[in-house]
Amino acid sequence: MEESKTRFEGVESILGDPKKAIWKLSIPLIISLFITSLYSVIDAVWVSSLGADALAGVGFVSPIFIALMGIGNGLGAGATSAISKYIGEGDKKKSDNGAVHAIVITVIVSIFTTLLFLIFLRDILLSMGASNTIDYAMDYGVILVSGSILVILSNSLYGVLRGEGDGNRTMYAMLFASILNMILDPIFIYYLGLGVKGAAIATLISLLFVNLLLFYWFYIKKDTYLRPFLSNYRFDKDITVDILKVGFPASLELVNNALFAALFSLLLTVVASTDAVAVYSTGWRVVTIATTPMLAVGTALISVVAANYGARRYEDILLAHRYSMKIAVLFGFIAAIVVYVFAPQIVSIFAYTGTSMRLSSQLIAFLSVIVIYFPTMGYGVTSTFLFQGTGNGITAMFQTILRETVFTLGFAIILAVVLGYGEYGAWWGIILGELVVNTITMFWADWHVKRLIRSNN
């Protein structure tokens, strides 16, 4: 009886009160995404004592790691959107089949991605401006890319769990992986003397174990609502399209973010130096942690919106969207205040020894400026994810490309190069780009839901 209650608890949540559902999914997501973002921070903390060049080398690989995470998160978003919609429609058989489809698609994409990155890794890093730190970047990158399937599959499976409204297990898995990574990092980097290679190995080992844990829940314990067994698999073109029409654009969104990070790093090497790249890549890890609550609320919104979309309860979608924006904006203000006030203490974690100490003042300046855009992310990310929940992945992707590649990078080039403000101008480019496109996206999402309501009436 207890097992049955646990299996159906998430499903009942996403089909119940939208406000309660958002909180129920957001809280474990905030914890789990916060812990996940610690992956790269932990690596940076340990690697920083190897020197600024090692830190910069790992920083150049960060966009690639972001891309791998993005592909997994994108496919996970596609799985969440499709599965939650089928649950909202009351089709259990199709939900199970959708879960298997998500896993099969993920494995195929992972194999292709690994081969692609292994072939072109060096050229990608050099094109980003990593020539001075290429040895460090390759040492870290080759190992990380070789285990791409571990990165992509875990994030996709998280999406399957979120599709049935289960945020708790996702949190447990991420906690387990991050704690293991914390333990393994110093062992492989220093005790075994592997340097930056050790950081990459520690990350992959932790991800291997988290994938095993996820498979244990699905295939051995068998206490999830979804049954992603091969016996439940029947190839269905419509299911494949439902997953990919959100998953593929969502992956491209996050890959685009990685592309932006790469181009932004290149811009910084042109207007400043590799030290500026180290400042940006390290500071952005702090930004990632600080903004996880907004991202968590947006991610939770996908499940709630998709389930209500499948049930054709569009008024509840409008309610969920507006409520999620209020929560996310509040989190944005809190995060901005905390990072601004405690910037010196935060920076001391990364620049506590060796040549990394020379980056302290720049890191503090970066964090003090970049917090300005945090509240705008609150209403921007929830609005973008609403489109994923209604199956409009292409629209969400367009909004992300507009924000990152067009406006943000465009403003950064104008301020840093044309007007000659250097790396400080580049930072302000991020703020202006986020402000403009997040505001556009908010009004766009509200109009989209109101149109659904009118069409239903």
Contacts of 63 (CB under 8 A, 6+ apart): 128, 258, 259, 261, 262, 265
Phi-psi category of 195—alpha, beta or left, where left has phi over 0 and alpha has psi -120 to 50?
A: left
Separation between Cα atoms, residue 127 and residue 417, nearest integer Å: 19
DSSP letter for 402, please: I
- The per-residue pLDDT for range 107-136, each reduced to its tens digit, is 999 999 999 999 998 888 888 777 778 888
Mean pLDDT of 181-206: 87
- The per-residue pLDDT for range 311-333, each reduced to its tens digit, is 888 999 999 999 999 999 999 99
Is residue 439 scored above 50 in pLDDT?
Answer: yes
Identify the pLDDT of residue 43: 63
Answer whether 165's CB lies under 8 Å from 6's CB. Answer: no
Separation between Cα atoms, residue 85 and residue 96, nearest integer Å: 12
- Within 272-373, residue ranges assigned H as helices are 274-290, 292-310, 314-341, 343-350, 360-370
How many C-beta atoms surround the C-beta of residue 337 within 10 A? 12
Is residue 190 scored above 90 in pLDDT?
Answer: no
Is residue 15 scored above 80 in pLDDT?
Answer: no
Separation between Cα atoms, residue 368 and residue 370, nearest integer Å: 6
Identify the pLDDT of residue 354: 46
Identify the pLDDT of residue 136: 84
Identify the pLDDT of residue 440: 94
Q: Measuring CA to CA, which residue among 139, 400, 159 is closest to residue 260?
A: 400
Is residue 287 scored above 80 in pLDDT?
Answer: yes
Is residue 148 scored above 50 in pLDDT?
Answer: yes
Mean pLDDT of 353-358: 54
Name the percent of the chain lying above pLDDT 70. Answer: 92
Cβ burial of 216 (10 Å; 0-12, 13-18, 19+) is exposed
Phi-psi category of 443—alpha, beta or left, where left has phi over 0 and alpha has psi -120 to 50?
A: alpha
As a whole number of angstroms, the longest Cα–Cα distance in the chain is: 67
DSSP string, 9-78: HHHHHHTS-HHHHHHHHHHHHHHHHHHHHHHHHHHHHHHHTT-HHHHHHHHHHHHHHHHHHHHHHHHHHH
Is residue 42 scored above 80 in pLDDT?
Answer: no
DSSP letter for 392, please: -
Is residue 355 scored above 60 in pLDDT?
Answer: no
Mean pLDDT of 13-38: 77
Phi-psi category of 92—alpha, beta or left, where left has phi over 0 and alpha has psi -120 to 50?
A: alpha
How many C-beta atoms surround the C-beta of residue 319 within 10 A? 18
Q: Sign (positive/negative) of CA torsion 381, 385, 386, 392?
A: positive
Separation between Cα atoms, residue 167 and residue 183, nearest integer Å: 25
Q: Average per-residue pLDDT in the chain? A: 85
Separation between Cα atoms, residue 193 and residue 279, nearest integer Å: 25
Torsion, Cα 325 152 142 213, to 10 degrees, reads 110
- The per-residue pLDDT for range 406-430, each reduced to its tens digit, is 899 999 999 999 998 888 899 899 9
Q: Which two tokens mark 366?
A: 């970066």
pTM: 0.76
Identify the pLDDT of residue 7: 55
Identify the pLDDT of residue 327: 94
Ranges 1-10, 129-138, 157-166, 288-297: which has the least confidence: 1-10
pLDDT band at 276; cut points 50, 70, 90: confident
Identify the pLDDT of residue 8: 57
pLDDT band at 273; cut points 50, 70, 90: confident
Answer whether 404's CB lies under 8 Å from 256's CB. Answer: yes
